Every structure is written in C-alpha cells, then in structure tokens.
C-alpha cells in the first residue's frame, strides 16, 4: 500500500501533532496521497478516519521505515514536536534510506541550525510557516508562498507551460486566471518588474499575486 502511495508521488509525514496533522490534511485536500506516521497509537487512531493511510511506527528505526517502503518516496516531512533527538535520528534514518527531499520542523533557531548541518535540505519554523504554505512548498509547485489575512497571496513559482515563451500581453494571465504577474526572473538574471512586453522564460521564475484560490489554481496549471 505504501509503495502505491510512493508511486503516485505521495509524501511521508512523520509526526502527527498539530503541525504534522495540519500539513497532512492540507496535502490530502490538494489531492496528494499521504502516508502518516507517528509512534503514538492514540494520535494514529485519531487520524484513522481523516487520513487515507496512517500507521504507528518508530521513525528513528530504519528497518521499521524500510518495511513501510519509505525508501520508495521522494519526499518526507519530519513534523516531530520539540524532541530534537528524535528529529535528528529520523533525519539520519531517512538519509540512510536515500529519500531525496527531506523537510523538517524546527522549534528554535538552534534546532534549525542543527538540522541544516546534518543535511536536511528544507527546515521550517511552524510559527512562521503555516501548514498551507508548507504544503505548497512540499508539493514542489511553488518555491515560496505568502498568504495574508484577507485571502490575498503572493507566490514565487515556475511558469506554467501554457505561458512559457510568450509575452505577458500574449499570455493574457490577468484576463484568463484573474491574477497578476508582478515580477519575472529569466534564467541567470535578477528579478525585474514585469511589463506587457516581458517574455516568460521557460527556465525562469515568476512572482504572482492575487486572490489565494486563483493564485493556487494558476500555479497548478500544466
């Protein structure tokens, strides 16, 4: 079952406390299959009807993770609480299983520094990075995501195929999707303010602003 989730480009979420639960549910609501793991049986049981796949296991045990086919996943998030030792040991276990993209929750600047030093590629601070934002970043569609209280969002992302190689005027982004491309970055160059004549570089990046739902819909276009 876990291998099937991995093959569908699913995500492993380890630790189902407040942050891990929020992230896992956000991912599933976006159509991403999730394998939720926690050593606390009560937490696992509480999520049994809310996550499609959830198991109780010790994430610091490499063999336990191997039996769950965690090595077949390309993305894993360590959302363990304040337990630095468990987070570090879990990170080592995931690295031993050669999981390519590892994300981890840090509850302090020093914890973030330690996790970064041992090779965790993406470390997030829950008080700064809410579940929705991290869900977008883990999915890989968005490079950065900021949401404001009024439902307005600004994202940095790769341009959808439909607008690549076109000028902003030709692409008609605002009329078609209801969002605004405010800046572009051609490959190897700095970000610049977008104009109607700006050509969207297929290998570049764009900054998009607008209503959160419209921004998300545009960013998921392909």
Q: Does residue 128 share a domain with residue 166?
A: no
Q: Does residue 57 share a domain with residue 26?
A: yes
Query: How many Cβ atoms sit within 10 Å of the Cβ of residue 125?
Result: 13
Domain boundary among 96, 111, 139: 139
Query: Each residue of 190-199: pLDDT tens digit?
Result: 777 788 898 9
Domain span including residue 73: 2-139
Please report, for the domain that includes residue 72, its CATH number: 3.40.50.720
pLDDT at 149: 52
Please report, for the domain that includes residue 181, its CATH number: 3.30.70.1450
Query: Each residue of 84-137: pLDDT tens digit?
Result: 788 888 999 999 999 998 988 888 777 888 888 888 888 887 655 556 666 666
Q: Does residue 63 share a domain with residue 13?
A: yes
Q: Does residue 93 share a domain with residue 133?
A: yes
Pairing of strands 101-105, 122-124: parallel
Domain boundary among 111, 139, 167: 139
pLDDT at 144: 63
Number of domain units in the chain: 2
Q: Does residue 125 share a domain with residue 209?
A: no
- CA nearest to 94, candidates 64, 129, 138: 64
Q: Does residue 132 share a domain with residue 22?
A: yes
Q: Does residue 112 share a domain with residue 196?
A: no
Q: Which two tokens stand for residue 149?
A: 């209280």
Residue entry with tokens 């031993």: 96
pLDDT at 164: 92
Domain boundary among 115, 139, 163: 139
Q: Does residue 151 share a domain with residue 132?
A: no
Cβ pair 221, 170 in contact under 8 A:
no
Which residues of the chain fall below pLDDT 70?
1-8, 81, 126-150, 222
Residue entry with tokens 């336990």: 64
Q: Does residue 123 share a domain with residue 149?
A: no
The string of DSSP letters for the chain reads -HHHHHHTT-EEEE--SHHHHHHHHHHHHTT--EEEEES-HHHHHHHTTTSSEEEE--TT-HHHHHHTTGGG-SEEEE---S-HHHHHHHHHHHHHTT-SEEEEE-SSHHHHHHHHHTT-SEEE-TTTS-HHHHHHHHHTSEEEEEE-TTSEEEEEEPPPGGGTTSBHHHHTHHHHHS-EEEEEE-TTS--EE--TT-B--TTSEEEEEEEHHHHHHHHT--
Q: Does residue 73 share a domain with residue 20?
A: yes
Q: Does residue 60 share a domain with residue 107?
A: yes
Widest distance between CA atoms in the chain: 57
Q: Does residue 147 share a domain with residue 41?
A: no
Q: What's the start-to-end Cα distance of the chain, in Å? A: 28
């Amino acid at each position: 079952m876990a291998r099937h989730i991995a093959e569908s480009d699913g995500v492993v979420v380890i630790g189902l406390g407040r942050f891990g639960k929020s992230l896992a549910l956000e991912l599933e609501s976006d159509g991403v299959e999730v394998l939720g793991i926690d050593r606390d049986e009560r937490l696992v049981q509480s999520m049994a009807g809310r996550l499609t796949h959830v198991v109780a296991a010790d994430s610091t045990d490499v063999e336990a993770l191997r039996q769950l086919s965690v090595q077949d996943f390309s993305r894993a998030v360590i959302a363990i609480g304040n337990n630095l030792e468990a987070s570090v040991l879990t990170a080592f276990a995931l690295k031993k299983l050669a999981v390519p993209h590892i994300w981890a929750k840090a509850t302090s600047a020093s914890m973030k520094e330690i996790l970064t030093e041992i090779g965790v590629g993406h470390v997030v601070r829950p008080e700064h990075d809410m579940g929705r934002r991290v869900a977008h970043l883990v999915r890989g569609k968005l490079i950065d995501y900021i949401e404001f209280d009024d439902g307005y969002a600004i994202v940095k992302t790769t341009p959808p195929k439909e607008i690549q190689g076109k000028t902003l005027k030709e692409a008609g982004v605002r009329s078609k999707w209801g969002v605004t491309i405010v800046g572009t970055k051609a490959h190897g160059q700095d970000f610049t303010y977008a104009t109607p004549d700006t050509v969207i570089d297929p290998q570049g990046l764009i900054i998009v602003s607008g209503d959160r739902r419209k921004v998300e819909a545009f960013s998921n276009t392909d």
